[in-house]
Amino acid sequence: MALLTKAASPLTSKEWQQVLEDYREEHPEVTVLDPPNAIQHLHNRQSMLQEVADLNLSNSYGEVCTPRQLVIMKDPSSIPDAVAKAGLTLPLVAKPLVVDGTSKSHELSLAYVEASLPLLDPPLVLQEFVNHGGILFKVYIVGETIQVVRRFSLPDFNTYDLGNNDGIFRFPRVSCATNNAEDADVDPCIAELPPKPLLEKLGKELRRRLGLRLFNIDMIREHGRKDRYYVIDINYFPGYGKMPGYEHIFTDFLLSLVQSKYKRLLSGS
């Protein structure tokens, strides 16, 4: 701990990762939950969904894909041309490119006319909006355990009053705990949870591809398509206090890691 507190100035992300890597090498008895470089992969919305897109998951329980998206690094005036060149269809959800843990990095904007696009603030990711009945599924991953909760999300686009703004709807953090939809009176076709076998396959593949064990997946079901799901965000170490039964699940997870670690040490492997 002395090593971590002697820095005269704040460490950069790269320096902090190196400190952790050095500590892990010096203390092999310490259990590291997830490697820093893998965690960093989820701090960028350009890279976080690539593993899902490459997975191309489809089976008898449904299809999992990602919305088409475009990264804009600078120059808001160039956005309309970039959107047209990429062939994206409005409305578009605009999200900050970097997820840094602040509430601002989780704020969304919905742009629905071309003239509004230069009003957006890069760097950002633009995702094609998919109508999904206003319900989002938060899929919590804790090791091999998966839990799902419903949250209210952005309403379908045809429900907006389009005459009262500049072509952009701005939203605070959408899928927070206050938007819990577990007990809401929602159309069963919209509220039905994704099939467990599909989630288990998705969770297993993403754990392997991302090299992480503690994250959550934000999923939506395309309205009118019972078997088509979109992953729209992945978050590292989300607020597990909002997950049902998190105390026992998380405790069992930590114990299993420690037991596995000591078994390997005792066996000399």
Tens digit of pLDDT per residue, the chain (269 long)?
333 443 445 677 778 888 888 888 898 778 888 988 888 889 999 889 999 999 989 989 999 999 999 999 999 999 999 999 999 999 999 999 998 877 788 889 999 999 999 999 999 999 999 999 999 999 999 999 999 999 999 888 886 666 666 888 888 766 555 567 676 677 888 889 999 999 999 999 999 999 999 999 999 999 988 899 999 999 999 888 888 899 999 999 999 988 887 777 677 65
Tally the domains of the chain.
Answer: 1
267 is a domain residue: no
pLDDT of residue 9: 52
Is residue 265 in a domain?
no
Identify whether 15 is part of a domain.
Answer: no
Domain assignment present for 264: no
Residue (of 51, 63, 62, 1) closest to 26 by Cα position = 1
Q: Report the binding-site residues for 1D-myo-inositol 1,3,4-trisphosphate.
A: 106, 138, 235, 239
Task: Give the CATH number of the domain where residue 233 resides.
Answer: 3.30.470.20
Q: Please check whether residue 230 lies inside any domain of the structure.
A: yes
**Which residue positions form the known binding site?**
45, 95, 106, 127-138, 153, 218, 233, 235, 239
**Which residues, at least 6 apart from 260, have a Cβ–Cβ distance to it below 8 Å?**
none
Q: Would you state the pLDDT for residue 8?
A: 47
- Domain assignment present for residue 125? The answer is yes
In a domain, 177, yes or no: yes
- Give the residue numbers of the binding site for ATP: 45, 95, 127-138, 153
Tell me the two tokens of residue 18: 């190196």
Query: Which residues does the annotation place in the binding site for Mg(2+)?
Result: 218, 233, 235
Domain span at 127:
30-240
Residue 75 resides in a domain: yes
Gap between the Cα atoms of 63 and 56, Å rounded: 8
